[in-house]
Structure 1
């Protein structure tokens, strides 16, 4: 058994392989319930004796039940824990801190595809952690008799985890001065937000962001969401009543609100993408939306006003067919007619030439494919690429890539859809829980692709170089991740042209 000493006390881990040690369920902040509910994360109390850290901690309140991962149960409160994987003889290695995705509403660090063993074996110290989700982490609390409750509590939890890393990771063989934060989907968008937050400054030097979702929410939209959730819970939308509501009641109420959007074609963008929680641009915890902030940096003429986040290296990736996953799992409404497609475009206020532009790019595609292509590019691909471009324009080093691997199976084509890239980057291809994402057991070519992706992550986390040229380098390169049998999945660069008139700003009611 392995023992390391943190500032709060010693922890005992285990060895998943002879060369890697793992420490699971280490508290990085106090339980965010009781007197701490809806407040900034509080310091965890020190413990006496050796704390056993060989099992994941409880996950944040949610209704999701993900394959191979633990489920949340009412009464699970010590949710702010993290996990460390490191080479057994690590000393001063680069650190990768992973922020899980899940629409700011579900997921955890205990998902099997986030196991850090393979990345640790490749030379990183890997940290994953849980943070508050849903209403607990991102719900707006109206002003009341108590001191104001902060917005973006989930982001504040992430900062608390990064502070723990700075103060403790050397005991696990990591270099606190060489930290890369990485995430996918809402985890990637969280990382982009951390680049804008003063409280996170100096806690990391690089960011890996896969399938960045956006944009952020306005305070007005967050307040409207709270009113709807409170109504669904049968309580007034006041801080007192919301604090008194048990977490499971707010989870259930949030699910009812999401379902109401799904059932109402007239509810605008949330009918097609019913994600009701996310980072709130409040001007305080989160001073600005990452895209609008980098655009302002890029247009600044006075070097003194250019944001310090430009000093952070950025590596982004998106998949080429992001939204096909949501269609496959039934989480998006079907659009099968030209009339429905026009209604979808109107709901998102898309330019008149955007749908015709995609029809020209996809002349033989049926309406559902055009719809999924546009929605995936709107929510993920375009947002990801634009974040990197504006970061480069602001003076930062930014590297772009996309995941285009697909395969043909007896059940049909397995697409390069949302989440399918992550098992490759983590080196966790043989898990039963990821077979749906990647289309069955991996091939030899898949294992080789995974090795190359891990090498890129390790190289970037170590030196800031993933193996190709940055956007603002002398010969910029957009890297494509695929296998020899999947070149047809490569992206069509012309698909970006219709988006030139589309801006991204915080969502409003």
Structure 2
């Protein structure tokens, strides 16, 4: 292997290779680099520790193992009990052989994957950084602890271990990325879904202060837990396994047993809300109230805690259809039952009527999709943008409206559809599924526009349209033909005005 692909990191030299997706071999990929020690054995449920140094050159030409997980989604990596537990690794794509840190360096984008805090990895084909690196951005994708390993309450241990892993990765970037040609002073942290939830938590976390200059958050979920709720959940998990809720007892439980216990708990969370029956996707999330996350992110952002961070945030227009269209069974007995379900989300008695007026002729399931999509992602994402702007910070807002072709277009602009387009990986499994094969020239052109917005924002904080102003939420609508709209108050937004999105 050519020595030009060897980069010196603080823990030892690593050897990469030309990215297989780089047509001219100009993009270098270093895969599976440890940024923290394996979080098992004596380090189980502890904050991440630095990785041990190594002698000689470490080959980093293959992705490292994913964190323990039992769920699967299109493009995610399998995990089983034989998989290595040395999972705190990251991947780096750089525009050309490493520069050794000479010069100003390129903008850096650090990607935090989604997956409901229980599934995923930074090595998914959707997140290959080659196309973004071709535009002059150094791209880093990160694995972090998931499920109980990352967010389960363990007495005497930090609750938000997954967030601490992400912070450790950002510190690794600060200390090492110049050797890959990146600028440690121009780092953008980005993510979607659970990754976006992580991003806004990092914006609010005192421990992450100063580690990034910009943030990109696609489809931010508002779901977070109190310390009390996290403890109740952990008691249920421990009860299923048959061990006390103690660090030493839990540390002796193999990861696969914790995964099985989580699946058992989730199987019992099917909610019956007077005629609406569903099942929860996850029982984990960031825990508010500890030193890593002392206050809800929306409150921290509103008071200006992240005012020095430029923000690009938004959501898809049909977020929830991915879940009901591809597996989550939803049964609704009638419109009255739907109204009760809406009231459980904090909406008033007229909520279904207002949604019906906005979506005439929609089925009950479609109305449920609209309400749940707004509850989970759309309203919270919008509030994050507006709160950041009101605090005097720079916030740009978008909506993704391009429709998937799958199921005759029934999924619309569903959750996660934008990701392969933003990364430029329109030939990955997720893109080919949602586009029903070849995306075609219109989607390819949209992909180019989205990548230009991402890389422009990462470089200078400007994705190419006007920022949000107090009282005027300007949004780029990404579609096969883009548009720019400025929202006033809508009847649907007014419905959500009194909903607090407090940790549960």
Common fold by TM > 0.5: yes
Give 1:239 deviation, angstroms: 2.4
Give 1:362 deviation, angstroms: 1.4
Q: Are 1:11 and 2:29 counterparts?
A: no
For residues 268 and 238 of structure 1, what CA distance do their matches in structure 2 show? 39
Residues 7-35 of structure 1, C-alpha deviations (whole Å, 9 max, x = no match): 11111111022110000000000000000
* Conserved? CA contact 1:320–1:402, under 8 Å: yes
Q: Which runs of 5+ in 1 are unaligned?
A: 143-147, 298-305
Q: Are 1:151 and 2:159 counterparts?
A: yes
Give 1:411 deviation, angstroms: 3.6
Q: Are 1:46 and 2:59 counterparts?
A: no
2:230 alignment counterpart: 222
For residues 190 and 233 of structure 1, what CA distance do their matches in structure 2 show? 28
2:62 alignment counterpart: 55
Q: Are 1:400 and 2:408 counterparts?
A: no
* Conserved? CA contact 1:261–1:274, under 8 Å: no
1:145 alignment counterpart: none
* Conserved? CA contact 1:354–1:499, under 8 Å: no
Residues 313-367 of structure 1, C-alpha deviations (whole Å, 9 max, x = no match): 1101200000000011212533352243133123323222322211121121111
1:119 alignment counterpart: 132
For residues 506 and 269 of structure 1, what CA distance do their matches in structure 2 show? 23
1:301 alignment counterpart: none
Q: Secondary structure at the match of 1:349?
A: coil
Give 1:498 deviation, angstroms: 1.6
For residues 277 and 8 of structure 2, what CA distance do their matches in structure 1 show? 47
Give 1:122 deviation, angstroms: 1.1
Of the three residues 91, 107, 113, the one matched with 1:83 is 91
For residues 346 and 153 of structure 2, what CA distance do their matches in structure 1 show? 26
Q: Are 1:331 and 2:328 counterparts?
A: yes
* Conserved? CA contact 2:404–2:434, under 8 Å: no
1:235 alignment counterpart: 243
Of the three residues 294, 297, 301, the one matched with 2:301 is 294
Q: Secondary structure at the match of 1:501?
A: coil
Residues 175-231 of structure 1, C-alpha deviations (whole Å, 9 max, x = no match): 000000000001001010001111111100100000000131101110111011112
1:72 alignment counterpart: 79
* Conserved? CA contact 1:469–1:476, under 8 Å: no
For residues 493 and 172 of structure 1, what CA distance do their matches in structure 2 show? 47
Q: Secondary structure at the match of 2:298?
A: helix
Residues 75-124 of structure 1, C-alpha deviations (whole Å, 9 max, x = no match): 42100000000111565000000000000011111111000000001110
In the superposition, relative to structure 1, how do residues 409 and 133 fare at CA in structure 2: closer, same or farther (>3 Å)? closer
1:140 alignment counterpart: 153
In the superposition, relative to structure 1, how do residues 456 and 255 fare at CA in structure 2: closer, same or farther (>3 Å)? same
Q: Which runs of 5+ in 2 are unaligned?
A: none
Give 1:70 deviation, angstroms: 2.5
* Conserved? CA contact 1:404–1:491, under 8 Å: no
Q: Give the count of matched residue pairs.
A: 489
Alignment of 1:1-400 (within 5 A): 1=1, 2-16=5-19, 17=22, 18-75=25-82, 76-88=84-96, 92-142=105-155, 148-262=156-270, 264-265=271-272, 271-295=278-302, 297=303, 306-307=304-305, 309-335=306-332, 337-400=334-397
Of the three residues 421, 426, 431, the one matched with 1:429 is 426
For residues 409 and 437 of structure 1, what CA distance do their matches in structure 2 show? 5
In the superposition, relative to structure 1, how do residues 408 and 226 fare at CA in structure 2: closer, same or farther (>3 Å)? closer
In the superposition, relative to structure 1, how do residues 324 and 394 fare at CA in structure 2: closer, same or farther (>3 Å)? same
For residues 356 and 433 of structure 2, what CA distance do their matches in structure 1 show? 29
Q: Secondary structure at the match of 2:178?
A: helix
Stretch moving more, 179-188 or 355-364? 355-364
* Conserved? CA contact 2:275–2:333, under 8 Å: no
Give 1:270 deviation, angstroms: 10
Stretch moving more, 268-277 or 115-124? 268-277
For residues 55 and 145 of structure 2, what CA distance do their matches in structure 1 show? 27
RMSD: 2.4
For residues 43 and 76 of structure 2, what CA distance do their matches in structure 1 show? 26
* Conserved? CA contact 2:7–2:15, under 8 Å: yes
* Conserved? CA contact 2:339–2:349, under 8 Å: no
The TM-score normalised by the length of structure 2 is: 0.92
For residues 482 and 463 of structure 2, what CA distance do their matches in structure 1 show? 23
Give 1:236 deviation, angstroms: 2.6
For residues 361 and 407 of structure 2, what CA distance do their matches in structure 1 show? 23
* Conserved? CA contact 1:414–1:438, under 8 Å: no
For residues 201 and 42 of structure 1, what CA distance do their matches in structure 2 show? 19
* Conserved? CA contact 1:407–1:485, under 8 Å: no
Q: Are 1:478 and 2:475 counterparts?
A: yes
* Conserved? CA contact 1:414–1:439, under 8 Å: no
For residues 287 and 480 of structure 1, what CA distance do their matches in structure 2 show? 34
Stretch moving more, 348-357 or 282-291? 348-357
For residues 315 and 323 of structure 1, what CA distance do their matches in structure 2 show? 21
* Conserved? CA contact 2:128–2:423, under 8 Å: yes
* Conserved? CA contact 1:179–1:206, under 8 Å: yes
